[in-house]
Amino acid sequence: MSTAVDLDWDAWRAGYDEMTFADQQAFYREVAELYPLQESANVCMAHDAFDLIEQEHLTVIELGGWNGRLASQMLARGDIAIWFNFDLVDVPQAISSAEPRYNQVVLDDWFWAERRKADVFVAAHTIEHLSAAHLRQLIACLDVSWVYLEAPLEAGPRDWTGYAGSHILDIGWEGVGGIMLANGYKPVAENLWERQPSGVS
């Protein structure tokens, strides 16, 4: 993320736990205006992960897909029936409105305020913008068979103080893995998790 404009990222991190959904939405509207280029997903990595799923007519829900770039690339595949991109704010979309399988949804409450059902959940460079508490709520709200996660995290905890951007997740991949395991998912690839049948460990 560019640092040309003076946003107080550390103040946002310090106040994160007290911010309401409306507060976060207002903050990200400012971010969207000042930093419109938010494209970090690794498309090749996503394709490799989806190749492992081996299922047709997939329903996909994505959180934080921004301008729809990843969805645009992935919908060229023949195995995706519909893709919903949930985000805090409305940004110019890369996908033509003529693509009937793509749906941009601007949230009016936390994503995890309701149960979310699909075949696959995608979060590419999104979870690092959540607190650990919010990540737990996010994963717990999912009713999906597969979870695809990309994030610029280290193995262990990290303090993001001084970072010029809205990264806040401090638990690292080991902590993320613990959350996934606690919710019944097992890793099947570097970025892909599969829900295990009840009673299977």
Q: For 138-190, how does the pLDDT look when each residue is reduced to its tens digit (9 = 90+)?
A: 999 999 999 999 999 999 999 999 999 999 999 999 999 999 999 999 999 99
The pTM for the full model equals: 0.94
Cα distance between residue 136 and residue 176, in whole Å:
9
The domain in which residue 111 lies consists of 9-195
Asked if the structure places residue 3 within a domain, the reply is no
pLDDT-above-90 percentage for the chain:
83
Query: Mapping DSSP to helix (H, G, I), strand (E, B) and coil, where does residue 178 land?
Result: helix
Asked if the structure places residue 189 within a domain, the reply is yes
Query: Mapping DSSP to helix (H, G, I), strand (E, B) and coil, where does residue 168 land?
Result: coil
Asked if the structure places residue 2 within a domain, the reply is no
Query: Residue 121 is encoded by which pair of tokens?
Result: 């959940």
Using H for helix, E for strand and C for coil, what is the string for 103-117? Answer: EEEECCCCHHHCCEE
Asked if the structure places residue 76 within a domain, the reply is yes
> What is the reported pLDDT for 152?
96
Condensed to tens digits (0 to 9), the pLDDT of residues 71-105 reads 999 999 989 999 999 999 998 777 877 789 999 99
Q: Using alpha carbons, select from 118, 148, 135, 150 the residue that is nearest to residue 182.
A: 135
Query: Residue 46 is encoded by which pair of tokens?
Result: 């996503």
Asked if the structure places residue 88 within a domain, the reply is yes
At 28, which CATH number?
Answer: 3.40.50.150
* β 142-143/185-187 pair status: unpaired
Please tell me the total number of residues recorded for the chain in this structure.
Answer: 201
Cα distance between residue 124 and residue 29, in whole Å:
19
Asked if the structure places residue 201 within a domain, the reply is no
Asked if the structure places residue 134 within a domain, the reply is yes
Over range 33-37, report the average pLDDT. Answer: 82
Condensed to tens digits (0 to 9), the pLDDT of residues 49-61 reads 999 998 999 999 9
Q: What is the mean pLDDT of the chain?
A: 93
Condensed to tens digits (0 to 9), the pLDDT of residues 114-145 reads 999 999 999 999 999 999 999 999 999 999 99
Asked if the structure places residue 142 within a domain, the reply is yes
Q: Using alpha carbons, select from 140, 178, 138, 174 the residue that is nearest to residue 158.
A: 174
Give yes or no for residue 4 having a pLDDT over 50. no
Per-residue pLDDT band for 5 (boundaries 50, 70, 90) equals: low
Number of domains comprising the chain: 1
